[in-house]
Amino acid sequence: MSDLAALQTRLGYSFHDAALLRLALTHPSVAHEQGAPLQHNQRLEFLGDAVLQLALTRELYEKFPDFNEGPLTKARAKLVNRRTLAIHGRALGLGEHLILSRGEEINGGRDRSSALADAYEALVGAIFMDGGYDVARAFILHEFGAAFGSLDVIPILENPKGELQELLQARSPEAPHYHVVSTTGPDHDRVFECTVHHAGAELARGAGKSKKAAESEAALAALNKLRAESCPPADHASPKVMPG
């Protein structure tokens, strides 16, 4: 196994107990291959998943006070999905340090996304066990701050119409409704303009290459408007929203 000093430099953290780091990098295939009880990283992966969830949940909760449970849950899910965790694992070079069975090595386990995502979660668990929650949280926020603009932009709203309906129905049982107000351009390049209404009032407008796209843009504009109106009149700026 390669020297772990370079990895710890990349992590920005030096382990007091190097055995925890080695355990985080030990793939379950090693135990399966030897056919004997052997510790591997699945327990640390379980722990690291919980630490990731807690640290990112708190950050989202504090940075985006105007968003309710639904959008925050979706944002967190995007931050900790398996593909994203594997990207973080690759960026840290975890693959070259994994302890694998011969079979897993031959079959490309060092670059397998599932193995990298699992090792990344296990690494977070190991940092938590070695240095405590504050150290693990600092590591997590450093890692995810770089990837998500320090979480200044909340990566949600794949379904603005659904989000708008959820927001409005918390206030009134009436659902929003949409109208196409204009269609312009030649047949092969139409542009639709839609309005979205609620309780007899127009909330916003949106345009797009299809009726569905225009409705989504109108819903997104309405969400931004409603959330801006709900912000307290202080220097606190509304969180930006980036369509998923």
Residues taking part in catalysis: 49, 121
* CA pair distance 11, 139, nearest whole angstrom: 8
| 113-131 and 133-147 helices, crossing angle to 10° | 140
* CA pair distance 222, 217, nearest whole angstrom: 9
What tokens appear for 218 in the block?
């109108």
What tokens appear for 75 in the block?
């944002």
* CA pair distance 158, 147, nearest whole angstrom: 19
Nearest Cα neighbor of 98 from 37, 144, 29, 10 is 29
Nearest Cα neighbor of 51 from 134, 111, 119 is 134
Q: For residue 50, count other CB atoms closer than 10 A to its CB.
A: 13
